[in-house]
Structure 1
Amino acid sequence: MGAWSAMSGAGWEAPTLEGTIVRLEQLAPTHADGLWEASRDPRTWRWLSVVQPSTRETFDDWLDDAVAARDNGTEIPLVTVCCKRVVGSTRFLTLRPGHRSVEIGWTWLHPSAWNTGANVEAKLLMLGHAFDVWGCRRVELKTDALNERSRGAMEAMGATFEGIHRKHMLVRGGESRDSAWYSVTEDEWPTVRALLLERLATSRSREARSRGRQT
């Protein structure tokens, strides 16, 4: 793989963000095996823009692309760790420090981490870093317009729907994708943070009840 610098060329340092459920770490060579294992379920790739890598070689190519984007200063890829196990990845994209704007995307999790609060807490950590540390004015999010699960999560956290970009991308080897765009601004961040904290508390309560039934 290429150089594993921890610094974005755009001037924003790759953060390490830690909550009670997940830890978001800077992408490093030590994560390669864990990411490969976490990426094996086809459900993980249903709405991503590339076809699921079927071999370790093609997956390593995907990792190399992530590293190259980081080293070029266009993206900051992070690894999602839960209970000391790699469960997925996410990124800061479209880095625009001059406009104090960034995008959160390329988020994927192994299905075992779905509905655990992992994604909710990851968004809380990343949005908090963008607004409270980097001083962003705007954070963008987008997804396939057909991805009801992702769109529902964005709407539940209070992100503002900004419309559909029709025929926005060619994905997965040639499929045409309409993209649904959402955003959170600095003025909306306190409300969004409260909603995310509420959803996180609900997830923790549900997990606690589940553990109680198993004992």
Structure 2
Amino acid sequence: MSSSSSSFAIAPVELGLRDVKLVPLALSHEAGLAAAAADGELWKLRVTSVPAPGETRAYIESALKMREEGNRFAFAVTDEATGEVLGSTSYHDILPAVRRVEIGYTWYAKRCQRTHINTTCKLLMLQHAFEQLGCHVVGWRTDNFNFASQAAIERLGAKKDGVIRGHALRRDGTIRDTVMYSLRSGEWPEAKAQLLYLLDKPRG
């Protein structure tokens, strides 16, 4: 793929593997997204940005505005067979000049946590980023107190770049430190093999 930034763009795309399908987030997902967030009352977690009841439409509208501006592309995570919305994830902080994206704004209904769904989504998004978009680097950022997220990112083979102190506001008004991770294109083959290995393990 050409290294010019002009050829780097995230066009609307659907990504699927086994029983998981990622589709561009749309206003039609409002009810499903609200139901997914309600499973576990995820908006009460101080280290996530899950929409609270009554805020789902604004959450989607914000994501669509960011897509128009070119700095975020949000997906609804769905059950391939039923279309049920299981959560959401995004490419964000898209930097065409250096062919870098980050993966974030990720959350799933409580019943989907600690299942194969997150691994499947990360495989789909990383594969698309490195093999179709031609990314040089894929990054992640997470709250310094979101230890589950940090562990999940590290299981992907990503390297910890460092911590940005006093970086962002949490929903409760406190100021968080942000832990930054990245995976380079040369590290992708090994990370891909590990993700495929994890998906092929028997589910408990």
User: TM-score, normalising length from structure 2?
Assistant: 0.89
- Conserved? CA contact 1:87–1:109, under 8 Å: yes
Question: Partners in 2 of 1:173 and 1:59 — Cα distance?
Answer: 18
1:145 is matched with which residue? 144
Conservation of the 8 A alpha-carbon contact between 1:21 and 1:121: no
Post-superposition Cα deviations, 1:31-90, rounded to whole Å, max 9, x if no partner, equal 11111111113236522146x4132xx221111111111111111010000242111000
Amino acid paired to 1:61: A
CA distance in 2, matches of 1:103, 1:111: 23
Distance 1:116 1:19, change over 3 A: same
What SS does the aligned partner of 1:141 have? strand
Aligned mate of 1:70, from 54, 67, 71:
67
Does 124-133 or 94-103 show the bigger shift? Answer: 94-103
Contact 2:167 2:175 in 1 (8 A): yes
Q: How does 1:64-213 map to 2 (within 5 A)?
A: 64-82=61-79, 83-84=81-82, 85-202=84-201, 205-207=202-204
Aligned pair 1:36/2:25, yes or no?
A: no
Q: Which amino acid aligns with 2:52?
A: P
CA distance in 2: counterparts of 1:161 and 1:45, whole angstroms: 27
Does the 8 A contact of 1:21 with 1:117 survive in 2?
no
Equivalenced residues, count: 193
Which residue of structure 2 lines up, in the alignment, with residue 212 of structure 1?
none
1:88-137 CA-to-partner distances (Å, cap 9, x unmatched) read 00000011122111000000100111122000010000000000000000
Note the C-alpha offset of 1:15. 1.9
Task: Give the structure 1 partner of residue 48 of structure 2.
Answer: 48
Distance in 1 between residues matched to 2:89 and 2:95, nearest whole Å = 18
Contact 2:43–2:52 (8 Å) recurs in 1: no
Give the RMSD, CA atoms, in angstroms.
Answer: 1.6
SS in 2 for 1:131: helix
For structure 1, the residue ranges without an aligned partner over 5 or more in a row are: 1-9, 208-215
- Relative distance call for 1:199 and 1:45 in structure 2 (3 A) is farther
- 1:21 offset after TM fit, Å? 3.0
8 A contact 1:44–1:108 mirrored in 2? no
Report percent identity of matched pairs: 34
For residues 27 and 42 of structure 2, the distance between their equivalents in structure 1, rounded to whole angstroms, comes to: 25
Q: 1:92 to 1:45 in 2, by over 3 A?
A: farther
The DSSP-based 3-state class of the residue aligned with 1:39 is: helix
Asked if the contact 1:130/1:136 (under 8 Å) is kept, the reply is yes
Deviating beyond 3 angstroms after TM superposition, the runs of 4 or more aligned structure 1 residues are none
AA of the residue aligned to 1:70? R
- The alpha-carbon deviation at position 29 of structure 1 amounts to 2.8
Where structure 2 has 5 or more consecutive residues not aligned to the other structure, the ranges are 1-7
SS state at 1:90 partner = strand
Counterpart CA distance in 1 for 2:159 and 2:44 is: 25
* 2:40 maps to 1:11: no
